[in-house]
Amino acid sequence: MQNKIFKTIIFLGLFSIVFSVSCKKKIDDAYLNPNAPVIVPIETILSGAIGSFTAFFSSAGTGYGVQADGILLGRYIQYWGSQTSGENYGQMGGTIGSDNTGGLWAAVYYGQGQNVNKIIQWGAEQQKWDYVGVGYAIRAWGWLELTNVYGDAILKEAFNTSQSQFNYDTQPEFYDSCRTICHRALSYLNRTDGNVSQANLAIGDAYFYNGDVSKWKKFVYGILARSYINLSSKGLFNTNNYADSAIKYANLSLSTNADNALVKLQGGLTSAVNNYFGPFRGNIGAIRQGSYIADLMSGNNAGAFSGVSDPRRYYLLRENLNGTFKGFTVWNGSTGLAANDYPKNFWGNTIPNSTAGPTIDSTRYLYRNTSPWPMMTASEMQFIIAEAAYRKGDKGTALTAYTNAISLNFDMITTTYPQNVPAVFAITPSSKTAYLSNPAVVPGVATALTLSQIMLQKYIALYGWGVQQTWTDMRKFHYTDIDPATGNQVYAGFTPPTGVNLISTNNNKWVYRCRPRFNSEYLYNIPELTRIGALNSDYNTYPTWFTIP
């Protein structure tokens, strides 16, 4: 890995230089040796580490986090597509020679990296145990998300500043390390001695949980719950009682929308304080919703929720000039869509091929400049319980959790994202009740619940923000696995690209991982990339461990 990533000095400019030409000592004091350790307030470091969840900023780069990658990975799961026919990621491609899909890699190793290490080290020295616990929580999140996207990566030798090349470790090792670090985080977050202080933690945590340690603990439990449910298609899921673990930790995790892990934005006249998906930043003007999600929420999917119009579609999606909901086939772009069926962009521009925001801002949901960005929600935790209980054969618990999950998602979008939804289309208590009472959505008896319903409603609830987790879910079902209860695909009607619509370098296989970040690994770590096969044209199709039964 590029040596500079691991040798980065904390990037927040915090030196106050006092210059005096008359005194050498003062000059020496003023111009500190950049290679010497300099302790800075960890309160000023934490905000950047949290920012790296989404779109980290520094002088050495920007866009590190889940958002920039999500624009591309969203094509794999058909959340959205670009206007271009035959677009690379729409055809399940990847690239060598580009940092595309390397944002999470950079966030974990660089944006968090040594900064998290220093939060933990200096926090322990200063007995700020809450900061130490938060640091470990961020590290645990990073290890799990990193290995889910890239497979093998650098674990044991990460952050070793004496090396310029690094050995990769396996996905099971990342999962084990993630869980160990989660429990370590909880042990520190449970401490109330020393210099633990909600008010002081809130200084560095102003835009996430505002210093609320109880919510950080729930976030950690959520990471643990994900780490078990991600393995639900593996044989060890049942033999190792992982279903029980997934349920246990999800129950300890986020339980109400007040617990939701939201990265908040200040908004203003600079990019760094605005949402990466907002019109100020201008990053998503050329993408439109996929036809799969549009059909699923409009009742046009013959295999799931057929004939049911989802009231959430006016919040999550964009209607067209006909007032209906259509989307792109992700590898075809706008090909085949009549002008009036062409969906508005996510900022609401009515000009079919526009990549700009509208003259009057009518942006909704995740796409406003100050829209908070979910990293984990109570709804997701209920879906984890639903899937795990279903696999255990406890369909009563599964149905209750499934219903709660949908209800929580309704409440989240109506309270957190009500902006600019026309009053005539606003969700009301009666429209929510009608949807939840529809047996095509929520079966009247637990025995009628299907795995397909659970996963498809989770697909909807995580729409937009949960790209990486939804991709993990779809890969563990190998995109087109069959639901034994229905005889149809778990992801009913989902059609990945094949033939000429699948990028040729995949050798007729679908994508299962991203390549390590180019501007470190492919420049400096060639021996290790050779060993794991990452120089092969179809490396992106190698199954990740959690997908192998």
pLDDT average, residue stretch 91-114: 94
CA distances from 70 to 49, 208, 514 (A): 19, 20, 12
Q: How many CA atoms lie within 13 A of 246 on its CB side?
A: 28
CB atoms within 10 A of CB 359: 8
At residue 212, does pLDDT exceed 50? yes
pLDDT digits (tens, 9 = 90+) for 231-251: 999 998 988 899 999 999 999
pLDDT at 26: 53
**How far apart (Å, rounded) are the C-alpha atoms in residues 390 and 307?**
25
Percentage above 90 pLDDT, the chain: 87
Exposure letters 33-42 (e unless 16+ CB within 10 A, then b): eeeeeeeeeb
At residue 29, does pLDDT exceed 70? no
Q: H helices of 58-128, where? A: 66-76, 103-106, 113-125
At residue 76, does pLDDT exceed 60? yes
At residue 78, does pLDDT exceed 60? yes
pLDDT at 31: 56
At residue 35, does pLDDT exceed 60? no
At residue 11, does pLDDT exceed 90? no
pLDDT band at 284; cut points 50, 70, 90: very high
pLDDT digits (tens, 9 = 90+) for 375-434: 999 999 999 999 999 999 999 999 999 999 999 999 999 999 999 999 999 999 999 999
pLDDT at 9: 36
At residue 60, does pLDDT exceed 80? no
Residues 6+ apart with CB under 8 A from 306: 299, 300, 440
pLDDT at 61: 63
Mean pLDDT, all residues of the chain: 92
pLDDT at 239: 84
**How far apart (Å, rounded) are the C-alpha atoms in residues 118 and 45?**
9
pLDDT at 17: 32
At residue 355, does pLDDT exceed 50? yes
pLDDT at 4: 40
At residue 202, does pLDDT exceed 70? yes
pLDDT digits (tens, 9 = 90+) for 302-340: 999 999 999 999 999 999 999 999 999 999 999 989 999
Q: Which neighbouring-strand residues pair with 287?
A: 82
pLDDT average, residue stretch 65-83: 97
pLDDT band at 37; cut points 50, 70, 90: low
At residue 3, does pLDDT exceed 90? no
pLDDT digits (tens, 9 = 90+) for 481-490: 999 889 999 9
pLDDT digits (tens, 9 = 90+) for 431-480: 999 999 999 999 999 999 999 999 999 999 999 999 999 999 999 999 99
CA distances from 519 to 262, 428, 500, 515 (A): 30, 49, 30, 11
Q: Which domains does the chain have, with CATH numbers?
A: 3-40+101-211+508-547 (1.25.40)
**How far apart (Å, rounded) are the C-alpha atoms in residues 364 and 366?**
6
pLDDT band at 344; cut points 50, 70, 90: very high
pLDDT at 421: 97
CA distances from 480 to 20, 280, 476, 485, 542 (A): 70, 38, 10, 15, 17
pLDDT band at 28; cut points 50, 70, 90: low
pLDDT digits (tens, 9 = 90+) for 177-187: 999 999 999 99
Q: Nearest-CA neighbor of 375 among 39, 79, 65, 40?
A: 65
At residue 95, does pLDDT exceed 90? no
**How far apart (Å, rounded) are the C-alpha atoms in residues 373 and 38?**
33
pLDDT average, residue stretch 2-12: 39
Sign of the Cα pseudo-torsion (476, 482, 484, 486, in order): positive
Three-state DSSP state, 80: strand
pLDDT band at 63; cut points 50, 70, 90: confident
Among the residue ranges 10-24, 85-99, 407-421, the one predicted with the least confidence is: 10-24
At residue 34, does pLDDT exceed 90? no
pLDDT digits (tens, 9 = 90+) for 503-525: 999 999 999 999 999 999 999 99
The pTM for the full model equals 0.93
Q: Nearest-CA neighbor of 233 among 534, 481, 491?
A: 481
